[in-house]
Structures are given as structure tokens and as C-alpha cells.
Amino acid sequence: MTSTEAPARPRPSRLEARVLAPVVPAVLLVLVALTGPLLAAHPVDKPVTAPYGEAGAGGAVLGGDQLGRDVLSRLLNGGSALIGSALVVAVVVTFLATLLGCFAVLSPRLGRLVERAADTAILLPPVLGIMLLALAWPGGGRLAITVAAVLLGVPYAVRIVAGAATPVAATGFVEAAVASGERPGYLALREILPNLRATVLALFGLRFVDAVYVISMAGFLQLGPRPPEADWALMIRENGPGILLNPWAVVAPGLAIGALAISVNLAANALAPATARRAALR
């Protein structure tokens, strides 16, 4: 078996610096978000100051929200659920898209079926699809948004993996394996998939960032998490009317969402070769 992706050969010290510089901030931010509930000074559902209290009032470093609850404590509690949901979406979408994409290039019939299904699903606006599923799901909530993000993310991801796997399937070592009578499962998982590592890694990073935006948007539209749950997007919507009284109640969760998405995107960009990332962005 031979590799079809030309490996980059930078000097080891430069490679480590290029990778560590964007990866370390992303890892630290994710760790802080995941351990946030342990660092919170106040309960997330108990008022500690007046509604939209100023920063520092009642021991609340970032002030109070619309009910006087500690903004910083709710901020520290709101990141773990968002990261967990985005991680589940990214893992499931990447896994399903990789399997379907690798098998689709080996079977013309399955390839046409996947292509047509993906083209049809891509035509559905993501916001409309999320709203339809979230409103039809009994009880709605975060699980409904997670399922909607998976269903809407797989078609686009399958097209990316299938596009990257097509030239691999046409290489000589795959043709030799086919001629020797190897089964489709062996060809997909042992011959094609190892040559798509960079593409799959870039796809995972992009799907994670996209899931953060999708889940945050659903929370802002009140289609996902419900009050009084501590959620960054929900905090922005709930505290919008009082932004002039305590800007931190809106600015802090907005900055947290932006920092998480940007840092993870930069980390995925550093870990994935440029050629694979360009393929994933097509």
C-alpha cells in the first residue's frame, strides 16, 4: 500500500512551534470550560445581586443577569454542555461520513444514491431543518438540536470524504487489491481510509466549529436549552434587554463562544495539512 498524500517535511522545531502555538490555547480553553462548574463561586439559579447588577456587586465579578444571578458562575457552568454536544456531533458526523464516503467510491450504485441524497439534503436550509426537527421532537431541547445537527451535517461531510476518496480508489494498489479478490470492507477500511487521515482530521475540526455555531444559534432561538439552564447562547438572548445596565451579561458569553470556535478552528488548521483543509472547505 502506498500513500497518495505528499507529506510535508518542515524542520521538527518549526513544526512543533506551528502546531503547539494554536493547539495549546484551544486545549486550555476547553479544559477551563469543562471544569468550570467546579470553579463557580455561586449557584447558577440563586440571585446574589439585583437584576442586571453592576460588575462586583454582591460578590459577582461580572455582575448579575436579568434575575440577579452571578454571570460568571453561569458562564463557567454553560460551557461543558455546549462543548459536549458539539463534540458528539463532530464525532458522529465524521464517523458516518467517513464510512459512507469510503464505501460509496467502491460501489457506483451506492455512490449515486449517496450523491443524490446528499444533494437533496444540502438544499434544505440548515436553520429551517433545525427548526422543523426541534419543533417536531417531543420536548425539544438539546438532544433534538444535536440530532438535527448530525442529520444536516452528514450529507455535506459525505461529499467531502467521497471527493477525497475517489482518486485514492483509482490508484494502482487499490486496483491490485480488487483484482486479488479483496472484499469492499477491506478495501474501504484498510486501503482507502488510511490515506484519508488528514482529510478526516480537517473535517472533524470543521464539523466541531460548525456544531458550536449551530447549537449556539439554536440556543439563541430558544430551540435547544431551556431556562433556567446555564447556556452561553441562552444567556445572550435572556440578557439582551439589559445590555446597557450590565454589558457583561451579554458580552461575556458572546466572547466565550467566539473564543471557543476560533481557537478550535485554528487548532484543527494547524493539525491538518493545508491540502486536506482546502479539500474540506470546497
Higher pLDDT, 122 or 79: 79
Span 160-182, mean pLDDT?
85
**Grid coordinates 437584576 are at which residue?**
51
pLDDT at residue 282 is higher than 60: no
pLDDT band, residue 272 (cuts 50/70/90)? low
Residue 122 predicted with pLDDT over 80: no
In angstroms, what is the C-alpha Rg of the chain?
22
Q: Which residues contact 274 (CB under 8 A, 6 or more apart)?
A: none
Average pLDDT score over residue span 30-42: 85
User: pLDDT band at 1, cuts 50/70/90?
Assistant: very low
Do residues 66 and 51 touch, judged by C-beta distance below 8 A?
yes
Model pLDDT, residue 39:
87
Tell me, what's the pLDDT at 268? Answer: 74
Segment 61-100, tens digit of pLDDT: 999 999 999 999 999 998 888 888 888 999 999 999 999 8
In this structure, what is the dihedral angle of CA atoms 202, 205, 206, 211, given to the nearest 10 degrees? 150
Q: Is the pTM of this model over 0.85?
A: no
Helix, strand or coil for residue 26? Answer: helix
User: How many C-beta neighbours within 10 Å does residue 99 have?
Assistant: 15
On average, the pLDDT of the chain sits at: 82
Cα of 102 vs its chain's centroid, Å: 22
Choice between 9 and 44, residue whose per-residue pLDDT is larger: 44
- Kindly state the average pLDDT of the residues 119-138: 78
What is the C-alpha separation between 114 and 93, in angstroms, rounded? 15
DSSP 212-249: HHHHHHHHHTTSSS-TTS--HHHHHHHHGGGTTT-THH
Protein fold of 31-36+58-280: MetI-like fold (1.10.3720)
pLDDT for 261 beyond 80: yes
Distance CA 106, CA 117 (A): 17
